[in-house]
Structure 1
C-alpha cells in the first residue's frame, strides 16, 4: 500500500507568485486543510496498483465482490480485442441495480446484492442526504460514487508518482529521508509495483487539482459580489471523471464540458446542460453529499458572477412547481422527448430557451421512474421538490440549455470564477488527531 502525507506551514513559491497575478481566470481558497493553505497534512493507505482487487476494495466493494469483478476482468477472452478497462467491468457489475428485481428491493438490500461495502452503504443511506439521493436513482449515485473514488485513487497515484520523480531527481537516486526513515524511490515506471512502508510528503499546488497555476490566484477570503451581478453556485467533488482535465484549460479558457450535466437532468432530456443554483445552501448540500460518499476526495464549492449585460442577452424561461413542471421533469428524467407544447423550453433558439429557472426535483425513483404519464399529476406533489434549510424552502436551479448560451457562459465566467477547495474528510480527521496529540 502507498501512503500519502505531509505537514507544512509555509506557502510554496509557486503559489506566492500567483498572488496578485494579472487577470486570472479564477481565484481559489483552501478550506479545512491542516494549515488552511494549499500545502496540507494528509495520510491514507492507497493500493499501489490501480488495476487490482485492492483497488476495487478501496473504491467501495467488499472483498468477495472485488475479487469476483477482478477475476472477470483478467479472464476476458482476448485483451487486444476486449480492451475495456477495469472500471467498465465495475459499471457492468452495478448495472444490475437497473433490473426490476433489484429496483424492487429495499436500498440496503440492493446495495448488498451488488457487493458494496459498509462505508459506502452507510454514506448512501445517510438520512441527512435522503432528498439529495433521490434527485437521481440509486444506480446513478452508486456509479457516481465509484467513479469519483476511482478517479481520486488515480489522482493520488499521480501525486505520489510526481513526488517520487522529484525526490529521485533531487537526490540523484540516493536514499531519501522521509520523516526520518530511509526510502529509495523507484523509477516512475515501477511505481505501480512499489510497496513502501512509510509516509511521503506531497506538496499540493494548483496543478494537483487540475488547475493551471498561471491562470489562478490564491485568495484568503470569498469573492466580493460585483454590483448588479448574479451569483450562481455549484457543489461537487474535485475529481468527477476519469482522464478528464480540470475546468480551466492551459490557455485560461473555461472547459464547459467538465462542468456539464448529462441528459436526464430535470430540464435536459437530450443534450448536456449547465446546472447551477442561485442558493449557496443548495450547492453546499451537494458538496457535502460528495464529501460524504467520497471521503478521500477534495470537494469544491464553485461560484460564478454573471453581469447584467450577459443576463439581458439570454432568452429565459421559468418552470416552477406546477402541472407543467411535473410533466416536463418526468420526460427529461426518462430522457424521452417532451410533448410539442414544451418545445419553447428545449429547442435551440430562437424557438427554445437559453436559460431555464425552476425548482429542483427529488423522489426520482419512487415518484417518476416507475409511473406512467397519466399518473404524473396525481402522484407527484410538493414533497418531490427538493427542500433545504430549517424553513424547508423549495430549492431553485438555473439551467443553461442552448449550445450558444453555454459557450457565452464560458466566456462570461472567465475572471469571475471562484473555487473553495475543501480538504478530504480523511485528511481533516487525521489533522484533528495530530492536533489532539500535540495538546497532550
Structure 2
C-alpha cells in the first residue's frame, strides 16, 4: 500500500518576520517560542546589538542566530536511539510536528547521516530562509501571495516537476556525465539572475568539514538522480511553505578526460586512501603528505560517505572504517555506493563547474506530487 504524503497541517506563514509566530513556524513549541521571543524583545543593555537596531558598528546578533542559539548542541545525539532523539528535541522545546518530521521512519537512513541538533538547526534555517524570501518577494511585488506558489522557482524562472517528461529525459545525455544537487529555493537565492542565467554559483558550496575537505568549501554533486530525489524528499518532509528543487548540470566526458593528471583524483570505497581521507577530513586531522594530492585537486570523483562527523571520532585511523561508512543508493544490481563529484571552490574548480553549468543548467521542482510518488516507490527507511 502506498503512503500518501501531505504537508503539515499548519503551513500558514507568519505575517511579520520578527515575531513569536516566526519562532513557532520554524520549529519550536508555543511555550519555548514565547521564552525565545521574550528574550529577544527584552535585549539586555551592554555590548552587542540585535538585527533591527541601528548599525553602530557593534557586534550584531541576527534574529535567526538568536533562535538557533536555543537549539544548542548540548546533549546532542547521533546514535541509533529513537527515544534519545525524541528526548533531546523535547528538552530543546522543539514542536511535535518537527519531531515527527525528523523521526519519520521512512527517512531514518537519511536522518542517521547527521545528528539530532544538526537536523533541527538545518530545518530552522531552511524555514527561516523561506520566510525571508517571502518577505523579499512581498517587498519587490506588493500584494503577491505569501504562500508557496512564488517559491516554485528561483528568480521567477519556471521549472518542471522532477517527474516530468523533461526531467526524466535530462537524466541521461550522450557523451556527458550528468550531475544533480537538491536544495531549497530560499537558500539558493542569487543563484540565477532575473533572466535565468547563472549569477552566484557560490550559494551551492558545502561548508567544511566534508567528505573530501577538512577546511575548505567544495561543490558536491551526485551522479544519481535517485539520490538527489532522496535528499529532496528529506528536505520536503521538513518544510512548510518552502520549495525544493533539484539542480541538474552535465559535463562532457572529454572535458573530464582532459583535466591534467594530478588535478583530477578518484577516491572510491574500499581503497585505503578513501578510508583515510574520509576519516581525516571528517575529524579535521591534517592529511599525510601522500594524501595532500586530494586536497590540491580541482575535481575529486569518489564514494559518498555515510554518518555524521561525530561517528568518525570513534576511530583511531581510517583503516578501521567499515562499509557502514558508505552511503548507498539504489542501482540496477541493488544497493550500490553513491558517487559524487566534488569541485574545488578555488578558481580552477569553480571555473570548471561554471563552464559545464552555463551550457547545461536545468532545474526541476520537487513538488508534493513528486513527494507522493517517491514515498510510494521507496522502501528505504
- Where on the TM-score scale, by shorter chain, does this alignment land: which range? 0.7 to 0.9
Number of the residue aligned with 2:375: none
**Counterparts of 2:329 and 2:286 in 1: how far apart (Å)?**
30
> Could you report, residue by residue, the CA deviation over 1:357-413 in whole angstroms, capped at 9, with x for unpaired residues?
2211112266314x1424x533x3112211122822211111112511222211321
1:348-387 correspondence to structure 2 within 5 Å? 353-364=297-308, 367-369=311-313, 371-374=314-317, 376-378=318-320, 380-387=321-328
Gaps of 5+ in 1: 1-42, 167-199, 348-352, 429-440
1:12-161 correspondence to structure 2 within 5 Å? 44-78=11-45, 79=49, 80=53, 81=58, 83-95=60-72, 97=73, 99=74, 106-160=84-138
Could you tell me whether the CA contact under 8 Å between 1:131 and 1:363 is conserved in 2?
Answer: no
Aligned residues: 338
TM-score by length of 2: 0.78
Q: 1:231 to 1:101 in 2, by over 3 A?
A: closer
**Counterparts of 2:15 and 2:228 in 1: how far apart (Å)?**
34
> Could you report, residue by residue, the CA deviation over 1:145-179 in whole angstroms, capped at 9, with x for unpaired residues?
1001011122234445555447xxxxxxxxxxxxx
Could you tell me whether the CA contact under 8 Å between 1:254 and 1:411 is conserved in 2?
Answer: no
**Counterparts of 2:269 and 2:156 in 1: how far apart (Å)?**
41
Does 2:337 correspond to 1:394? yes
Could you tell me whether the CA contact under 8 Å between 2:26 and 2:128 is conserved in 1?
Answer: yes
Structure 2 residue matching 1:400: 3-state secondary structure? strand
Shift of 1:424: 5.5
Structure 2 residue matching 1:415: 3-state secondary structure? helix
Does 2:364 correspond to 1:417? no
Number of the residue aligned with 1:229: 176
**Counterparts of 1:411 and 1:306 in 2: how far apart (Å)?**
8
> Which structure is higher in RCO with an 8 Å CA cutoff and minimum separation 6?
1
Number of the residue aligned with 2:153: 209
Q: 1:61 to 1:424 in 2, by over 3 A?
A: farther
Could you tell me whether the CA contact under 8 Å between 1:301 and 1:420 is conserved in 2?
Answer: yes
Shift of 1:257: 0.8
**Counterparts of 1:306 and 1:103 in 2: how far apart (Å)?**
36
Structure 1 residue matching 2:292: 3-state secondary structure? helix
Could you tell me whether the CA contact under 8 Å between 2:204 and 2:219 is conserved in 1?
Answer: yes
Gaps of 5+ in 2: 1-9, 373-381
**Counterparts of 1:217 and 1:415 in 2: how far apart (Å)?**
17
Shift of 1:422: 2.7
Could you tell me whether the CA contact under 8 Å between 1:320 and 1:359 is conserved in 2?
Answer: yes
Select the structure of larger CA radius of gyration. 1
Shift of 1:250: 4.9
Shift of 1:342: 1.0
Shift of 1:94: 1.6
> Could you report, residue by residue, the CA deviation over 1:313-343 in whole angstroms, capped at 9, with x for unpaired residues?
3332111123332221122123333222210
**Counterparts of 1:231 and 1:331 in 2: how far apart (Å)?**
29
**Counterparts of 2:316 and 2:308 in 1: how far apart (Å)?**
14
Does 2:276 correspond to 1:327? yes
Shift of 1:103: 6.7
Could you tell me whether the CA contact under 8 Å between 2:303 and 2:326 is conserved in 1?
Answer: yes
**Counterparts of 1:108 and 1:392 in 2: how far apart (Å)?**
29
Q: 1:359 to 1:131 in 2, by over 3 A?
A: farther
